[in-house]
């Protein structure tokens, strides 16, 4: 049985190409003949299996409305519960992690990777990058990536600047391993102050 959170996530994903297993049709219950006609009664079909469907591999977001679930500022005390919910619903998400938090919860970062989640860099200390020098910006990004790699997962190739501060970045081109680094923004902010 899916929890209400998992059911809500699963329901939200219906609009992005992940389809649940079809429910079996309702069955007609035979009614014994009588002198007065009575309508047939319908019994509910058995509940579908609690196993979530496998995500579709052929989703074309140019044809479908797609959404990406992302979680920032973690890992933290709620990350395990979020992963439980996502795993139960068969949903993947991106976690943009802080280096200082990764050092406290490296096991959760490894679990994110094992669950097939994308792990991004959200800097080391969550400083507003457009208020830092180029050297300080590079330090924030490099230390965040190093902490993630030290947790035993590949260094991230994408990052999300804290506070949507990508407009004044001095650089975004390379991470320490020379891989491309992509800045990823967001359009809906959950507005909470608690870390994931």
Q: What is the pLDDT along the chain (196 residues), one digit of tens a residue?
A: 444 455 555 444 444 443 333 333 444 444 444 455 555 545 454 444 455 555 556 778 888 888 888 899 999 999 999 999 999 999 999 999 999 999 999 999 999 999 999 999 999 999 988 888 888 888 998 899 999 999 999 989 888 888 876 554 544 444 444 444 556 655 555 555 555 5
Residue 97: inside a domain, yes or no? yes
Residue 196: inside a domain, yes or no? no
CA atoms within 13 A on the CB side of 22: 3
Q: Give residue 152's Cα distance to chain centre.
A: 20
Residue 14: inside a domain, yes or no? no
Tokens standing for 21?
């297993």
Determine the pLDDT at residue 194. 54
Q: Give residue 87's Cα distance to chain centre.
A: 10
Determine the pLDDT at residue 92. 93
Residue 161: inside a domain, yes or no? yes
Residue 142: inside a domain, yes or no? yes
Residue 1: inside a domain, yes or no? no
- Contact by Cβ (8 Å): 98, 73: yes
Overall number of domains in the chain: 1
- Contact by Cβ (8 Å): 85, 3: yes
Query: What's the pTM value of the predicted model, to 2 decimals?
Result: 0.64
Determine the pLDDT at residue 65. 85
H or E element: which one contains 158?
A: strand 158-159
Residue 191: inside a domain, yes or no? no
CATH of the domain at 108: 3.20.20.370
Residue 172: inside a domain, yes or no? yes
Determine the pLDDT at residue 115. 96
The runs of H, that is alpha helices, within the chain are 4-13, 79-89, 99-102, 106-114, 134-150
Tokens standing for 26?
């309702």
């Amino acid at each position: 049985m899916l929890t209400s959170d998992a059911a809500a996530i699963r329901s939200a994903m219906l609009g992005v190409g992940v389809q649940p297993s079809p429910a079996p049709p309702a069955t007609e219950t035979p009614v014994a003949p009588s002198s007065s006609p009575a309508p047939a009664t319908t019994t509910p079909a058995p509940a579908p299996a609690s196993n979530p469907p496998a995500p579709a591999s052929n989703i074309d977001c140019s044809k479908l409305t797609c959404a990406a679930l992302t979680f920032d500022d973690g890992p933290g005390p709620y990350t395990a519960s979020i992963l439980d919910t996502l795993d139960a619903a068969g949903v993947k998400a991106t976690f943009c992690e802080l280096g200082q938090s990764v050092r406290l919860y490296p096991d959760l970062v490894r679990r994110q990777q094992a669950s097939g989640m994308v792990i991004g860099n959200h800097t080391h200390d969550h400083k507003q990058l457009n208020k830092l020098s180029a050297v300080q910006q590079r330090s924030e990004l490099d230390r965040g990536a190093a902490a993630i790699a030290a947790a035993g997962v590949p260094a991230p190739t994408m990052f999300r600047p804290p506070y949507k501060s990508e407009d004044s970045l001095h650089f975004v081109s390379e991470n320490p391993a020379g891989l491309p680094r992509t800045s990823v923004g967001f359009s809906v902010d959950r507005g909470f102050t608690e870390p994931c």
